[in-house]
Homo-oligomer: A and B are copies of this chain.
Amino acid sequence: MPYFDTASSAPLHPVARQALQASLDEGWADPARLYREGRRAGLLLDAAREAAAEAVGCRPDELVFTPSGTYAVHSGMSGVLSGRRRVGGHVAVSAVEHSSVLHAASAHAAATGGTVTEVPVDRYGAVAPDTYAGVLREDTALACLQSANHEVGTEQPVAAVAEACRSRGVPLLVDAAQSLGWGPVGGAWSVLAASAHKWGGPAGVGLLAVRKGVRFAPQGPADERESGRAPGFQNIPAIVAAAASLRAVRAEAADEAARLRALVDRIRSRVPELVPDVEVVGDPELRLPHLVTFSCLYVDGEALLHELDRADFSVSSGSSCTSSTLTPSHVLRAMGVLSEGNVRVSLPLGTPEAEVDRFLEVLPGVVSGVRERLGAPASPAGRRAEGPSVTAAPVPADGSSLVVDALGRRCPIPVIELAKVFDEVPVGGTVTVLADDEAARLDIPAWCGMRGQEYLGERPADHGVAYVVRRVS
């Protein structure tokens, strides 16, 4: 039963389980109390804080435990924004941050009238340090940048952005949720947030490190625990398990990174060979070792995940067709890449090579099965084998055009309908797709890029949007 979604949540590491069970007897009392049960709990908490701080690369008194990574991000952002209120209300974030960062930035803007700048990313999903530096302003209270992207695995240039922030006196908050198990975050960051269940620790534990000297005003009702930065009774057994497992995964990180990197390289190279019309996204080199994302034309993401689940593979997707919100992943949108049939594979520690090979065996049949049921057109390669290439058609007079009505149809149908009729217009002619699924805005241009056709743009239509494509070959 291969589980390939460790970026959502990792199975509990054996060391985490042992530490959790061992500390249930010693860690349940209130560490603020003076009696022996309280002192014992306090000692466990202190030791866990020291271990976690060492792994993060900060002082123990700079680190607090929060109930989740999300809480660490929210508390870290609101604390800096409030502490630096006099500087201004401007926040810079990359366009591909985790939703917890983006939502906290929106909440700040809504509550205080502050402004948010999203720094764009390249096609691999990375910000450019110069671009990031360019959005920092006199009134920038906070900059946020993830250490590595949670959907496509691309590493961000944190050290360079941190230096740009430092030289302008702007604190940088790094969301290290996806990378902290692999190693400390370098560079002169000011605030760091992470989440234990991403590295194999238990749920219920986040880390928030705030460097000395950063102006920080905890928000919300006063509370004495965790320096006022995370109110409520600490979950010490889970904290102990989090710290112990972070140490344990770090001890195996170098070897395991090399091994998983090779397995991910195999997926990156083999999937496009085995499955037609696939786009592998994210940086091929500067990336998390264990994570790879690809998108499949003419595929319904929900059906694909369902079929992979039936074939015993658990993966996730940034496709809108698997999400209740019906909007494709903001990460894929910011990168400008195909979103339909999107699959994220993130390998847990210890993933056997044979499971990856089995995934590569299973995937082509699963994708073609989903495509068949959707009535997707055959790939160009397939069609070439069946008859003369459509690119051999003579260039006709301009002006031929077709309109496809895909209103009310969900992704990937608009793109499938486009592909089905595309051969019917002559080279130089256009196909206009009427669609009201948000994914079409991303996937029709992406289809043009993959097919070498020309995307002419979109315009509002009576219902939905009209997307126009010119046939150039």
A residues with a Cβ closer than 8 A to B are 1, 3, 5, 8-12, 17, 20-21, 24-25, 28-30, 33-38, 67-71, 74, 99-100, 103-104, 106-107, 195, 197, 202-204, 206, 220-224, 231-238, 302, 305-306, 308-309, 314-316, 322, 324
Which residue of B is nearest A67, CB measured?
Answer: B67
Closest approach, in angstroms, between the C-beta of A420 and any C-beta of chain B?
28
Q: Is the CB of A233 within 8 A of B203?
A: yes
Closest approach, in angstroms, between the C-beta of A206 and any C-beta of chain B?
7
Closest approach, in angstroms, between the C-beta of A314 and any C-beta of chain B?
4
The docked-state distance in angstroms from the alpha carbon of A124 to that of B99 is: 49
Q: Is the CB of B35 within 8 A of A12?
A: no
CB neighbours of A70 from chain B (8 A): 223, 231-233
Q: Is the CB of B103 within 8 A of A238?
A: no
Seed contacts A10-B28, A34-B302, A235-B238; 7 additional CB < 8 Å A-B pairs: A5-B35, A12-B28, A28-B203, A29-B314, A35-B316, A68-B233, A71-B231
The docked-state distance in angstroms from the alpha carbon of A234 to that of B25 is: 23
Which among A100, A195, A223, A232 has the greatest number of chain B C-beta atoms within 10 A? A232
Q: Is the CB of B67 within 8 A of A35?
A: no
Number of copies of chain A assembled together: 2
CB neighbours of A305 from chain B (8 A): 34-35
Asked, given contacts A21-B21, A29-B9, A33-B5, whether A220 binds B314 with beta carbons under 8 Å apart, the answer is no
CB neighbours of A237 from chain B (8 A): 202-203
Closest approach, in angstroms, between the C-beta of A102 and any C-beta of chain B?
9
The docked-state distance in angstroms from the alpha carbon of A67 to that of B71 is: 10
Which residue of B is nearest A72, CB measured?
Answer: B232
Asked, given contacts A202-B237, A235-B238, whether A100 binds B221 with beta carbons under 8 Å apart, the answer is yes
CB neighbours of A20 from chain B (8 A): 24
Asked, given contacts A36-B309, A197-B28, whether A203 binds B314 with beta carbons under 8 Å apart, the answer is no
Closest approach, in angstroms, between the C-beta of A202 and any C-beta of chain B?
7
The docked-state distance in angstroms from the alpha carbon of A37 to that of B9 is: 10
Closest approach, in angstroms, between the C-beta of A99 and any C-beta of chain B?
8
Asked, given contacts A203-B234, A220-B74, A238-B204, whether A314 binds B107 with beta carbons under 8 Å apart, the answer is no
Q: Is the CB of A37 within 8 A of B67?
A: no
The docked-state distance in angstroms from the alpha carbon of A223 to that of B69 is: 13
CB neighbours of A238 from chain B (8 A): 202-204, 235, 238
Which residue of B is nearest A222, CB measured?
Answer: B103
CB neighbours of A10 from chain B (8 A): 28
Q: Is the CB of B33 within 8 A of A8?
A: yes
Picked from B9, B33, B223, the residue with its CB within 8 Å of the CB of A314 is: B33
Which residue of B is nearest A8, CB measured?
Answer: B30
Q: Is the CB of B100 within 8 A of A231?
A: yes
The docked-state distance in angstroms from the alpha carbon of A195 to that of B231 is: 13
Closest approach, in angstroms, between the C-beta of A291 and any C-beta of chain B?
15
Closest approach, in angstroms, between the C-beta of A45 and any C-beta of chain B?
11
Q: Is the CB of A235 within 8 A of B203?
A: yes
